[in-house]
C-alpha cells in the first residue's frame, strides 16, 4: 500500500494509515507504558503479567510499571472502577507514561471512557497484538492479512476519532459534515476490506492448488503449531537445515514458511512453520490469517510444539487446541513435541499410548538432543499400512523402529 492508495484517499483519521516499522523513530519505538492487569481469579497472575510484559517489549515499549487490581467482573463503563481509573491516570502521569495498556479486551465505549479519565492513550490486548503483527509482517500476504485485521478492528472504534463532532443533535451552528464524514470513512474502510479479502482469496486458491498437487504426489505434509515462543522456528530449522528467522520473542514468525525435505526415515516430507498462537488471540486475526492457516487444516500431521520449561504449558496446550478447533484443524492427527527439555530434568525420548502409538516426543531443538526420536515418530506416521498397501492414510500403529529403545519412559 502506497501513500497514494486510492482506497484510503480521503480518510481523515490518521490511525487508518497502516504503520510502517521503518517509519517509527527510535523515540516512538521506546514509548514508556503502564500496564494494567485485573485479577478476576481465572488466571495465573504472575504468568499473565510476564506474558503481557513480553508482548509490550516485543512492540518496542519501555514498561515503566505494572498495576494490578482485583474485581469480580469488569465494570461496564470503565472496565475498572472509577476510583481505580483515576489512580491509573495519576500513576501514568507520575511515571511519564504516555500509553496505558490493559491486558484485556476493552469495548470501544470502555476504551473511550478510560482515555477521558486517564487523560492519555489507552489500548487493550487486542490492539497490542495487532501492533506487533504489523511490525513483524514481512511477506506481501502477511502484510495484507494484518492490514485486514487492523481495519476490521478499527471499524468498530472509528467514532473515537470524532469526539469533537458528537454534538450532531441539530441546531444553529451545530449542523455539519460529521455524520457524513464518518459514513465516508466507513465506506472507504469497507472498500479496502473487500479488496484485501479478494486478494487473500486468490492467494488461498493458489495455496490449495499447490496442496492438491503435493497430495497427488503422495508427499506427507507436516505443520508445526504451538504457543508463541515455544520454539517452532528453531525446530523447523533443525529439521530442514534452513535459515528461517528464530528468536526468543513473541510472534517472531508471522509468515508461513514451507520446505520440502528428505528424511531418510520417512522420505520426502513437506514441513510448514506457522504463526504462533496465544491466549485470547484476537478473532479478527484468526479470520484474517485463515488463508495462511489452511496449511494447518490441510496437513497430514501436526507437530504441536510445547515449551516444556514453561510452568503454564498445560494452559498453553489448551489455548492452542482452542484455536485449532476454531480454524477447523482439530481433526488432524497430532504429536506433542515437548521442546526445551534441556532446561528441564526430562530426558529426550518418546511416550506411547496403550496402543503403541507415539503421542509425545521430548527434545531440545536448540541442542539437537532428541531429534532422532522425532524423525522416527514421523517415519512411523508416514509408513503405509502393511495390511492395506493401497490405503492412502498414514498409520501410527506400527511397531517402533530399532532406533527407539524399549526402556523409554512411558
- Residue set of the binding site for GTP: 226-233, 251-255, 273-276, 339-342, 364-366
CB atoms within 10 A of CB 261: 15
> Using DSSP, how many helices (H) and how many strands (E) does the chain show?
12, 11
State the Cα–Cα distance between residues 138 and 214, nearest whole angstrom.
26
Query: Angle 351-354-357 (CA atoms, 0-180°, nearest 5)?
Result: 55
Which of 107, 116, 71, 64 lies closest to 89 in space, CA to CA?
Answer: 116
The annotation places the binding site for Mg(2+) at: 233, 253
Which of 245, 280, 255, 234 lies closest to 55 in space, CA to CA?
Answer: 280
| 3-class SS of residue 334 | strand
Distances in whole angstroms, Cα of residue 71 to Cα of each of 34, 85, 102: 19, 13, 14
**Of all helices (H) and strands (E), which one includes residue 39?**
strand 32-39
Burial zone of 3 (CB within 10 Å; 0-12 exposed, 13-18 middle, 19+ buried): exposed
State the Cα–Cα distance between residues 377 and 335, nearest whole angstrom.
9
State the Cα–Cα distance between residues 261 and 240, nearest whole angstrom.
6
Distances in whole angstroms, Cα of residue 126 to Cα of each of 102, 122, 129, 225, 365: 9, 12, 5, 21, 30
The annotation places the binding site at: 226-233, 251-255, 273-276, 339-342, 364-366
State the Cα–Cα distance between residues 273 and 145, nearest whole angstrom.
17
Distances in whole angstroms, Cα of residue 149 to Cα of each of 172, 184, 262: 40, 20, 36
State the Cα–Cα distance between residues 330 and 168, nearest whole angstrom.
49
Burial zone of 55 (CB within 10 Å; 0-12 exposed, 13-18 middle, 19+ buried): buried
Cell 510484559 locates to 53
Q: Where are the beta strands (DSSP E) in 54-206?
A: 62-70, 99-102, 121-123
Amino acid at each position: 500500500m502506497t501513500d497514494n492508495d486510492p482506497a484510503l484517499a480521503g480518510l481523515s483519521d490518521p490511525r487508518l494509515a497502516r504503520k510502517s516499522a521503518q517509519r517509527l523513530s527510535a523515540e516512538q519505538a521506546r514509548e514508556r507504558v503502564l500496564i494494567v492487569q485485573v485479577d478476576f481469579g481465572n488466571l495465573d497472575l504472575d504468568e499473565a503479567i510476564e506474558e503481557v510484559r513480553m508482548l509490550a517489549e516485543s512492540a518496542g515499549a519501555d514498561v515503566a510499571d505494572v498495576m494490578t487490581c482485583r474485581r469480580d467482573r469488569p465494570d461496564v463503563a470503565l472496565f475498572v472502577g472509577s476510583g481505580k481509573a483515576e489512580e491509573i491516570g495519576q500513576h501514568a502521569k507520575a511515571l511519564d507514561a504516555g500509553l496505558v495498556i490493559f491486558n484485556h479486551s476493552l469495548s470501544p465505549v470502555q476504551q473511550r471512557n478510560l482515555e477521558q479519565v486517564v487523560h492519555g492513550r489507552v489500548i487493550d490486548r487486542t490492539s497490542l497484538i495487532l501492533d506487533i503483527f504489523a511490525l513483524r509482517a514481512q511477506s506481501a500476504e502477511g502484510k495484507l492479512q494484518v492490514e485486514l485485521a487492523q481495519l476490521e478492528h478499527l471499524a468498530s472504534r472509528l467514532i473515537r476519532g470524532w469526539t469533537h463532532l458528537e454534538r450532531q443533535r441539530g441546531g444553529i451552528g451545530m449542523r455539519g459534515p460529521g455524520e457524513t464524514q464518518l459514513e465516508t470513512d466507513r465506506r472507504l474502510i469497507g472498500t479496502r476490506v473487500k479488496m484485501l479479502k479478494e486478494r487473500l482469496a486468490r492467494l488461498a486458491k493458489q495455496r490449495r492448488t499447490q496442496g492438491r498437487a503435493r497430495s497427488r504426489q503422495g508427499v506427507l505434509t507436516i505443520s508445526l503449531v504451538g504457543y508463541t515462543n515455544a520454539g517452532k522456528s528453531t525446530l523447523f530449522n533443525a529439521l530442514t537445515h534452513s535459515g528461517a528467522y528464530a528468536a526468543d520473542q513473541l510472534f517472531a514468525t508471522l509468515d508461513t514458511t514451507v520446505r520440502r525435505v528428505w528424511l531418510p526415515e520417512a522420505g520426502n516430507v513437506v514441513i510448514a512453520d506457522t504463526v504462533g498462537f496465544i491466549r485470547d488471540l484476537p478473532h479478527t486475526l484468526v479470520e484474517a490469517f485463515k488463508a495462511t492457516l489452511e496449511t494447518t487444516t490441510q496437513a497430514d500431521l501436526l507437530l504441536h510444539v510445547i515449551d516444556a520449561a514453561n510452568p503454564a504449558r498445560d494452559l498453553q496446550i489448551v489455548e492452542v487446541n482452542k484455536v485449532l478447533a476454531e480454524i477447523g484443524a482439530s481433526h488432524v492427527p497430532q504429536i506433542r513435541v515437548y521442546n526445551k527439555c534441556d532446561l528441564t530434568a526430562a530426558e529426550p525420548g518418546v511416550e506411547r499410548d496403550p496402543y503403541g502409538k507415539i503421542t509425545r516426543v521430548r527434545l531440545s531443538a536448540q541442542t539437537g538432543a532428541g531429534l532422532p526420536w522425532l524423525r522416527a515418530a514421523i517415519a512411523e506416521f508416514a509408513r503405509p499400512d502393511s495390511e492395506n498397501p493401497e490405503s492412502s492414510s498414514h498409520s501410527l500403529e506400527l511397531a517402533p523402529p530399532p532406533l527407539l529403545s524399549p526402556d523409554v519412559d512411558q
